[in-house]
């Protein structure tokens, strides 16, 4: 296994009084944006501060988080196999979320199934 150290840059803030968290990016002009993603993969980009560090109206309580992460990569992966595994895993996650949204599972049941699916019940 090869490992790769990276830094995940997150921003946590309030938008119109509601909390949000997403991926932070410092733009070349000095302004900062946060990318938010919904469950369908739709991206929304929010300006969280201008080049002078001032937050726009509606944005408050901005926190920038720099989180170290380690990415484990197999030495010689089979690209087809890993893509198939990922697609299968995403399909299972989508099924659990759909069952929760349609009322087949309540919040506790959905949480338990997601935990088991994603972490193996650890």
* Percentage of residues of the chain with pLDDT beyond 70: 83
Q: Which residue has the tokens 């901005």?
A: 62
Mean pLDDT across 99-103: 86
At 42 the pLDDT is 78
25-28-18-66 Cα dihedral, nearest 10 degrees: 40
Phi then psi for 51, rounded to 5 degrees? -65, -20
pLDDT beyond 60 at 98: yes
User: Could you tell me if 46 and 33 are in contact, meaning their C-beta atoms sit under 8 angstroms apart?
Assistant: yes
At 120 the pLDDT is 76
Q: Which residue has the tokens 């002078």?
A: 52
Integer CA distances (angstroms), 58 to 17, 54, 62, 106, in order = 8, 12, 11, 33
Number of Cβ within 10 Å of residue 2's Cβ equals: 9
Q: Given pLDDT bands bounded at 50, 70 and 90, which one contains residue 28?
A: very high
pTM: 0.52
pLDDT beyond 50 at 9: yes
């Amino acid at each position: 296994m090869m490992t790769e150290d990276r830094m995940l840059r997150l921003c946590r803030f309030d938008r119109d009084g509601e909390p949000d968290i997403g991926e932070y990016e410092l733009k070349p002009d000095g302004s900062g944006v946060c990318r938010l993603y919904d469950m369908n993969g739709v991206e929304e980009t929010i300006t969280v501060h201008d080049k002078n560090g001032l937050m726009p109206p509606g944005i408050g309580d901005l926190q920038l988080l720099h989180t170290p992460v380690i990415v484990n990569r197999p030495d010689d992966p089979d690209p087809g196999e890993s893509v198939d595994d990922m697609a299968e895993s995403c399909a299972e996650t989508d099924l659990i979320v759909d069952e929760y949204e349609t009322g087949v599972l309540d919040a506790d049941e959905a949480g338990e199934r997601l935990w088991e699916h994603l972490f193996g019940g650890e």
